[in-house]
């Protein structure tokens, strides 16, 4: 059964995280408290140290990654690299922690994050764990570069399974992963591996948290899991920028997983027809994609390139409270088997560029009528081929579509007769002339929604004026998440159209 998520306002979320509680029904993995370790030893690594030392004090520090890789660590151990220092090679430590006694990789002293600079050799990572559980990797800067024209499949930080047995309870926190230039010639199927790049989580796993990381200038992927089945994987509050392929991917997430509060910039910059998207899910059940910002997508192939994608095998994922803007190839892709997906309270600004491929807001190919898109605001200043590529089949309610350019067709093909279009604002009305809403159509309006200041920039520009015809003009939707984009509580009665709910009396 699909889990039900209720997203709380950001300040409430922050307080929950600080108390190590949960949000949206998905418990957040607890941050390991180093001071609370009842067992374990602390090892120090300093380029000025000596591998003949015991490594257990600053004055007797080890020197090399080679020494670290030769050690099998025990629950509660800490591996501390000197701040401001750098090492060349692949960090491949051994051992697993235990509940309440994770093994921690961190820095000591003051200064910049310690650097692990891998060699660029094929299948290497700057930091790699193989089938190991209860680890925390934090405050590292990692790179892994090969010479231009190389064919190495590379990783920044790579969690890899040793067998089909899941590993669990691994956290990657506050790391800077950059300049990982994995091989990108997709046509060479013997060498190309899409599951390479910045932070990659491979195989079967559970209880994985990737939070507060900065991933920049990487190929192929930004942050993703690759292969296997995962439960409770949280990708939270990361900055991902300048990524050749996908920004964030969750594939095979089947319990309480989430992509939340991330920022993605200049993702999917490939110029060929190989398909990528900004942030997406596949073979996923009940995953939450919320409070993210995606901008600057220019590539992504012939069919993709959207900010979001509910891909094959997705059932019950929720995409809510996101801000997308200035992406060339649309807001979202729905693949054929996608079902029970909810898209609500998002704001999309100029996610179609004139002259870009197909010029559509949605690439909608789902064969299911149970997908629901409601209370979103879409502002488009470009000339548009169509809002829906492939027609539409599902519910579309309480949305605002505002277009200042020309619109050739509402949908590229006839809208399915099982569709429901309730209480939307389509402006101007001419956008619905060809292949317009069909099925059950009621309560729609065609007047200027009267945004505060319809222009790119702050999301508040797209809040509604007091005289807007969209105020209190929606339909009541049960289990609607309880709050608008800003966290304003929704009324028990009739809501506004769009992503913004006015406060009575304002």
Distance from chain centroid for Cα 473? 32
User: Tokens 């790049």 belong to which residue?
Assistant: 197
The pLDDT value recorded for residue 11 is: 32
285's tokens: 């059940």
pLDDT mean across residues, the chain: 92
**Residues 222-238, mean pLDDT to the nearest whole number:** 95
The pLDDT value recorded for residue 180 is: 98
Between these two residues, 159 and 20, which has the higher pLDDT value? 159
Check residue 158 and give left, alpha or beta (phi > 0: left; psi -120 to 50: alpha). beta
For 366, residues 6+ apart whose C-beta sits below 8 A from its C-beta are: 310, 334, 335, 336, 337, 338, 339, 341, 393, 394
147's tokens: 């010479």
Between these two residues, 23 and 319, which has the higher pLDDT value? 319
Q: Are 8 and 16 in contact (CB under 8 A)?
A: yes
The pLDDT value recorded for residue 455 is: 79
**Residue 97, domain extent:** 40-190
Residue 29 has pLDDT above 50, yes or no: no
Residue 33 has pLDDT above 90, yes or no: no
472's tokens: 């209190």
The closest of 115, 114, 108 to 61, measured between CA atoms, is 108
Q: How far apart are CA 502 and CA 506, in angstroms?
A: 7
How many domains, in total, are found in the chain? 1
The pLDDT value recorded for residue 4 is: 33
Dihedral sign (CA 176, 178, 182, 186): positive
Q: pLDDT, tens digit, for every residue of 434-478?
A: 999 999 999 999 999 999 998 767 999 999 999 999 999 999 999
**Residues 168-172, mean pLDDT to the nearest whole number:** 98
Residue 379 lies in a domain: no
Residue 296's Cβ-count burial label (10 Å; 0-12, 13-18, 19+) is middle
3-state secondary structure of 481: coil
The closest of 255, 151, 146, 243 to 200, measured between CA atoms, is 243
Residue 357 lies in a domain: no
The pLDDT value recorded for residue 354 is: 76
Q: Are 43 and 69 in contact (CB under 8 A)?
A: no
The pLDDT value recorded for residue 505 is: 65
The pLDDT value recorded for residue 358 is: 60
Confidence of residue 255 (pLDDT cuts 50, 70, 90): confident
Distance from chain centroid for Cα 249? 6
Q: How far apart are CA 386 and CA 357, in angstroms?
A: 11
Residue 92 lies in a domain: yes
Residue 348 lies in a domain: no
114's tokens: 């310690």
Confidence of residue 206 (pLDDT cuts 50, 70, 90): very high
The pLDDT value recorded for residue 397 is: 98
The closest of 371, 381, 402, 394 to 464, measured between CA atoms, is 402
**Residues 32-60, mean pLDDT to the nearest whole number:** 86
The pLDDT value recorded for residue 357 is: 55
R_g (Cα) of the chain, nearest Å: 24
Longest dimension (CA), the chain: 78
The pLDDT value recorded for residue 302 is: 85
Residue 196 has pLDDT above 60, yes or no: yes
**Residues 474-485, mean pLDDT to the nearest whole number:** 98
427's tokens: 């402006």
Q: Are 245 and 268 in contact (CB under 8 A)?
A: yes
How many CA atoms are closer than 13 Å to the CA of 65, on its beta-carbon side?
Answer: 18
The pLDDT value recorded for residue 356 is: 60
Residue 236 lies in a domain: no
Residue 312 has what DSSP assignment? T
Q: Are 323 and 293 in contact (CB under 8 A)?
A: yes
338's tokens: 């996608």
Confidence of residue 286 (pLDDT cuts 50, 70, 90): very high
Residue 161 lies in a domain: yes
- Partners of 395 in the beta sheet? 372, 420
Residue 282 lies in a domain: no
**Residues 345-369, mean pLDDT to the nearest whole number:** 88
Residue 190 has pLDDT above 70, yes or no: yes
Residue 329 has pLDDT above 70, yes or no: yes
Residue 151 has pLDDT above 90, yes or no: yes
461's tokens: 């520009």
Residue 461 lies in a domain: no
Instruction: Provide φ and ψ at 207, rounded to 5°.
Output: 55, 60
């Amino acid at each position: 059964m699909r889990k039900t998520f209720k997203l709380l306002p950001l300040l409430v979320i922050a307080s929950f995280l600080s108390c190590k509680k949960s949000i949206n029904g998905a418990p957040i993995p607890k941050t390991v408290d180093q001071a609370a370790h009842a067992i374990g030893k602390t090892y120090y690594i300093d380029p000025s140290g000596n591998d003949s030392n015991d490594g257990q004090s600053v004055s007797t520090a080890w020197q090399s990654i080679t020494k670290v890789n030769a050690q099998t660590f025990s629950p509660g151990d800490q591996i501390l690299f000197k701040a401001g220092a750098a090492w060349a090679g692949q960090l491949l430590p051994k051992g697993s922690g235990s509940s309440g006694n994770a093994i921690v990789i961190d820095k000591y002293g003051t200064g910049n994050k310690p650097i692990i600079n891998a060699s660029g050799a094929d299948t290497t990572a700057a930091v790699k764990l193989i089938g190991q559980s209860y680890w925390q990797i934090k405050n590292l800067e990692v790179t892994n570069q090969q010479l231009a024209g190389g064919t190495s499949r590379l990783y920044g930080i790579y969690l890899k399974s040793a067998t089909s047995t899941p590993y669990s309870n691994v956290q990657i926190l506050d790391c800077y992963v950059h300049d990982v230039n994995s091989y990108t010639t997709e046509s060479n199927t013997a060498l190309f591996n899409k599951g390479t790049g910045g932070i990659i989580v491979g195989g079967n796993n559970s209880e994985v948290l990737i939070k507060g990381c900065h991933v920049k200038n990487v190929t192929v992927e930004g942050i993703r899991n690759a292969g296997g089945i995962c439960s409770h994987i949280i990708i939270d509050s990361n900055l991902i920028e300048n990524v050749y392929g996908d920004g964030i991917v969750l594939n095979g997430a089947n319990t309480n997983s989430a992509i939340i509060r991330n920022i993605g910039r200049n993702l999917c910059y490939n110029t060929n027809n190989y398909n990528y998207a900004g942030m997406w899910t596949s073979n996923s059940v009940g995953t939450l994609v919320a409070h993210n910002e995606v901008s600057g997508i220019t590539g992504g192939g012939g069919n993709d390139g959207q900010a979001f994608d509910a891909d094959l095998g997705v059932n019950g994922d929720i995409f809510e409270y996101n801000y997308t803007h200035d992406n060339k190839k649309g807001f979202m892709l729905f693949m054929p088997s996608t079902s029970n997906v909810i898209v609500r309270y998002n704001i999309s600004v100029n996610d179609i560029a004139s002259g870009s491929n197909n010029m559509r807001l949605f690439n909608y190919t789902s064969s299911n009528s149970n997908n629901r898109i409601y209370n979103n605001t879409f502002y488009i200043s470009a000339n548009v081929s169509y809002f829906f590529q492939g027609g539409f089949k599902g519910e579309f309610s309480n949305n605002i579509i505002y277009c200042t350019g020309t619109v050739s067709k509402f949908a590229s093909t006839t809208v399915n007769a099982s569709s429901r279009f309730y209480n939307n604002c389509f402006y101007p009305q001419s956008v619905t002339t060809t292949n317009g809403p069909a099925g059950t159509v009621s309560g729609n309006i065609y007047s200027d929604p009267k945004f505060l200041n319809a222009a790119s920039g702050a999301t508040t520009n797209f809040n509604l004026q007091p005289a807007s015809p969209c105020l209190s003009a929606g339909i009541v939707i049960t289990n609607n998440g309880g709050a608008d984009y800003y966290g304003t509580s929704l009324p028990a009665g009739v809501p506004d159209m769009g992503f913004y709910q006015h406060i009575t009396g304002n």
